[in-house]
Structure formats: structure tokens, C-alpha cells
């Protein structure tokens, strides 16, 4: 019984925090100390729970505490989604109202005869209708560019009254090499993955773009040394697509022996293939943790929140796809993905170049609720390209610095 409770406890911790990394005493990016504090228990009690020496009652209470944390985070996310949707609606209606009023004033100034009044009323009514329908059509990601949620904190000009999170010039040499990585990064290449979450195959995830802000972290300097740790705040836009023919992934798209995707899948373009239909656009905010070593770079990520827009409810109903379940229980595994460290191509930080430098991580997406029968995970590569450097002058640290 204890063994069963122990497994349930560690499974619950992985669902809340990420994969259990025993060698470094962490679940995802959370240390044992942080987790025990979240659960309001002592470090010794946490150790008993973790390694099977706790009582049944201790396990039951601890598991309930973890479940409450998950439920609380879920409620907070739903509240945030509701606030964002409300603000978006209010903002769009305000824009349309302003357009209507400006056009009304313009017509009032230009009219010369009373006979024009009926015509003016008709025209304004038509404009109002156009504004009404354009509000709903504006849901498309092509209709507007959404800026990074933290852009006001990172991207204001030098003349603005704000305190930038980037290092000051007096600190950049002390925090080398991470000072060279500070700035704006983007998703190097789009990538796609099959998704479970329905009773039939043919559901896919497509990562479209990533807007990443990198800054040096001063919190970790006692354990890793100055200039070795980066915090990365990532705004990711992705999509969910469905194969209307629900083609089995094996053997057409995935080689079960080599555990790799076929060239046909790699060359597949959902947007240009009428067989595939988009179900929803996804917006996610991730917190990344990068450790820079002379020969390698290590990345860990934790989801802060995710929500969907442009949901095609008719399509989801037709193919029995629960978008909410996908958001909460399936895509959450992307932050628990096992990503290998990558060789550091910029041992000399002065080699970093805007629009050219890329850091890429090879990952394996292991799906806990696997229902496609591959007996493992899906490989993919996630890379970040340097778009704009905060500091690009000469840095004095070199490859031998540790």
C-alpha cells in the first residue's frame, strides 16, 4: 500500500512541477526545499514521503495538498483567461467606437443640405455593421500583432522613465558571458508534434513563433558563479490542427523502429494541405532557465500559463476533440519534456551575432497519456535565434573562465 501511495505522490509532484530529476534533487525546476515549503511540511517529512517511509495518512494528506495546489493554479489560470478575454473585447469595441465617432464628425462637417441626412444615417449604419463584423473577424492572428507580455518592462527607449531588467554597463563584465545573451530571441524554426487527447489519430501541435526575453540572473550566483545563469521569459504562439482523414501516424508519418518521423511528415505543411484544418490558436507564457558552461548550455522550462483563441467549436465537436483537456492535461507535458544539453557554440561570447546566432536543443516529448502505440516519445528540436542584443561591445571573459 505504501509503495502505491509513494508512486501516486511522485506522479502528483511531476504533474505539478515537472519530471523528477533525482541526480540534482529537483522536480522540473523546483527544488525539494521549495516543494516542501509549498506543501507546508518539513524537509524530513518530505524525504519520508519521497522514499517510501511515510505513513498512509501522511501520503493521503500530502497528495491532497498537491491536488489543491494544482486546482488552485487551474482556477487562477481560468480567471486570468477570463480577464484577458474581457479586456480584449473592451479594447476592440473602444477602437470601433472611436472610428464610428470620427466618421460621424467628418460627415457632419461635410453635409450641406438637409436632404443628405437620411443618406448619412444609412452610411453610418453600414459603417457600424462593418465595424461589428470586423470585430469578430479580427480574431485571426494575422489581423494584429500581439506584443510580448513583458515588452513594457524590457523594451522602452532610453528616454522613458523605467528601470530596465538588463545589466547596466558597469555590470556587464562581471556577469560575462551571460551579459552577451541578454536581449530578444525568437523561435529559429517552427516544429510540429502529434498529440494524444482523442480516441482517433490525426491531432497535431504546431509551434509557430516564440518571443523570448533573456536576462542575466543574479539569484544563482552563489551556487553557479556570476554570469552563468540566464532567465528567459518566453511568449509562444502555437496551433492545434486536425487531419480530417485521421490517418494513422504509423507507418506514414512515424517509423516505429527508428523512433523518428518520416520525410513525409517533416515536409508536411498543414496550411497548404486541405486535408488539415486548424482547430485553435494557442498562447503560452513559459519561464526558462539557462545554465551556460564553456562546453555546453542547459535549458529547463516551466509553464506559467496557456490559453486558446480562434477555437473552431464545430470542428472540435465533429472530431470529438476536447480543447480544454488538451490545454490542461496534454500540452502540459511539453514543459516536462526531456531536452538534452546542447554544445555551446559561443564559448567566446563575442561570437554572438544578431540575426545569425542560434541555440538549439534536441528534445524527446514523452506523453504520459500515450494512445498512439509508439511505446515512447516524439523527437523534436527547439531552437532560439538572437534578434537583438542588449550589449554587443567587447567582453573580456573567455573559454577558460569557469
- In this predicted structure, the answer to whether residue 334 has a pLDDT above a threshold of 60 is no
Same domain, 170 and 52: no
* pLDDT tens track for 247-274: 988 889 998 888 899 999 999 999 999 9
- In this predicted structure, the answer to whether residue 368 has a pLDDT above a threshold of 80 is no
- In this predicted structure, the answer to whether residue 116 has a pLDDT above a threshold of 70 is no
Same domain, 52 and 186: no
- In this predicted structure, the answer to whether residue 3 has a pLDDT above a threshold of 80 is no
Helix (H, G, I), strand (E, B) or coil at 374: coil
| Better-predicted residue by pLDDT, 67 or 79 | 67
CB atoms within 10 A of CB 129: 10
What mean pLDDT is predicted for residues 286-293? 92
Helix (H, G, I), strand (E, B) or coil at 75: helix
Same domain, 234 and 352: yes
Last residue of a domain, one of 57, 74, 91: 74
Number of structural domains in the chain? 2
Last residue of a domain, one of 23, 52, 74: 74
pLDDT recorded at residue 68: 85
Is 242 inside a domain boundary?
yes
* pLDDT tens track for 192-249: 998 876 778 899 999 999 999 999 998 866 566 788 999 999 999 999 999 999 998 8
In whole angstroms, what is the distance from residue 279 CA to residue 337 CA? 24
Is 270 inside a domain boundary?
yes
What mean pLDDT is predicted for residues 145-167? 84
pLDDT-derived band at 28, boundaries 50, 70, 90: confident
CB 309, CB 278: distance < 8 Å = no
Is 307 inside a domain boundary?
yes
pLDDT recorded at residue 219: 80
Same domain, 70 and 158: no
Cell triple for residue 401? 573562465
Q: Which of 93-102, 118-127, 176-185, 261-270 has the least mean pLDDT?
A: 118-127
Cell triple for residue 168? 547596466
Is 246 inside a domain boundary?
yes
> At a CB cut-off of 8 Å and minimum separation 6, what does 149 contact?
235, 285
**DSSP string of 217-232?**
-STTHHHH-TT-EEEE
pLDDT recorded at residue 380: 92
Same domain, 225 and 339: yes
* pLDDT tens track for 298-319: 998 888 889 999 999 999 999 9
pLDDT-derived band at 115, boundaries 50, 70, 90: very low
Omega within 30 of 0 (cis) for the link into 177: yes
Q: Identify the domain containing residue 324 by its residue range.
A: 151-389
pLDDT recorded at residue 165: 92
| Better-predicted residue by pLDDT, 182 or 7 | 182
Last residue of a domain, one of 39, 74, 109: 74
Is 330 inside a domain boundary?
yes
Same domain, 244 and 343: yes
- In this predicted structure, the answer to whether residue 371 has a pLDDT above a threshold of 50 is no
Same domain, 230 and 379: yes
Q: Which of 43-47, 53-57, 63-67, 76-80 has the least mean pLDDT?
A: 76-80
In whole angstroms, what is the distance from residue 227 CA to residue 291 CA? 9
What mean pLDDT is predicted for residues 128-151? 50
Question: In the 8-state DSSP scheme, what is residue 335?
Answer: G
- On average, the pLDDT of the chain sits at 81
Q: Which of 135-139, 161-165, 258-262, 266-270 has the least mean pLDDT?
A: 135-139
In whole angstroms, what is the distance from residue 62 CA to residue 50 CA? 11
Is 138 inside a domain boundary?
no
Same domain, 54 and 164: no
Amino acid at each position: 500500500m505504501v509503495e502505491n501511495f509513494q508512486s501516486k505522490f511522485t506522479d502528483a509532484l511531476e504533474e505539478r512541477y515537472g519530471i523528477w530529476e533525482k541526480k540534482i534533487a529537483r522536480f522540473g525546476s523546483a527544488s525539494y526545499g521549495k516543494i516542501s515549503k509549498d506543501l507546508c511540511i518539513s524537509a524530513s517529512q518530505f524525504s519520508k514521503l519521497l522514499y517510501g517511509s511515510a505513513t498512509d495518512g501522511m501520503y493521503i494528506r500530502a497528495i491532497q495538498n498537491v491536488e489543491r495546489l494544482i486546482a488552485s493554479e487551474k482556477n487562477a489560470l481560468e480567471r486570468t483567461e477570463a480577464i484577458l478575454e474581457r479586456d480584449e473585447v473592451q479594447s476592440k469595441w473602444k477602437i470601433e467606437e472611436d472610428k464610428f465617432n470620427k466618421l460621424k464628425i467628418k460627415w457632419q462637417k461635410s453635409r450641406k443640405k438637409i436632404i443628405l441626412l437620411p443618406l448619412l444615417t444609412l452610411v453610418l449604419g453600414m459603417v457600424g455593421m462593418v465595424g461589428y463584423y470586423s470585430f469578430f473577424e479580427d480574431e485571426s492572428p494575422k489581423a494584429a500583432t500581439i506584443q510580448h507580455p513583458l515588452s513594457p518592462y524590457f523594451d522602452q527607449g532610453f528616454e522613458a522613465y523605467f528601470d530596465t531588467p538588463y545589466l547596466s554597463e558597469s555590470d556587464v563584465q562581471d556577469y560575462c558571458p551571460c551579459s552577451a545573451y541578454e536581449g530578444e530571441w525568437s523561435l529559429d524554426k517552427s516544429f510540429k508534434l502529434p498529440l494524444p487527447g482523442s480516441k482517433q489519430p490525426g491531432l497535431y501541435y504546431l509551434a509557430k513563433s516564440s518571443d523570448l526575453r533573456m536576462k542575466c540572473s543574479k539569484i544563482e550566483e552563489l551556487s553557479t558563479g556570476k554570469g552563468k545563469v540566464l532567465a528567459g521569459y518566453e511568449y509562444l504562439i502555437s496551433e492545434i490542427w486536425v487531419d480530417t482523414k485521421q490517418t494513422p501516424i504509423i507507418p506514414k508519418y512515424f517509423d516505429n523502429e527508428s523512433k523518428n518521423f518520416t520525410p513525409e511528415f517533416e515536409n508536411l505543411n498543414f496550411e497548404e494541405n486541405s486535408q488539415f484544418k486548424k482547430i485553435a490558436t494557442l498562447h503560452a507564457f513559459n519561464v526558462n532557465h539557462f545554465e551556460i558552461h564553456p562546453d555546453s548550455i542547459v535549458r529547463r522550462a516551466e509553464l506559467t500559463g496557456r490559453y486558446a483563441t480562434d477555437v473552431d467549436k464545430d470542428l472540435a465537436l465533429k472530431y470529438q476533440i476536447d480543447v480544454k483537456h488538451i490545454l490542461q492535461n496534454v500540452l502540459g507535458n511539453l514543459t516536462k519534456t526531456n531536452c538534452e544539453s546542447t554544445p555551446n557554440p559561443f564559448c567566446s561570447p563575442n561570437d554572438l551575432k544578431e540575426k545569425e546566432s542560434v541555440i538549439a536543443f534536441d528534445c524527446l516529448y514523452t506523453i504520459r497519456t500515450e494512445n498512439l502505440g509508439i511505446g515512447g516519445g516524439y523527437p523534436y528540436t527547439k531552437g532560439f535565434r538572437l534578434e537583438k542584443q542588449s550589449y554587443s561591445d567587447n567582453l573580456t571573459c573567455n573559454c577558460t573562465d569557469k
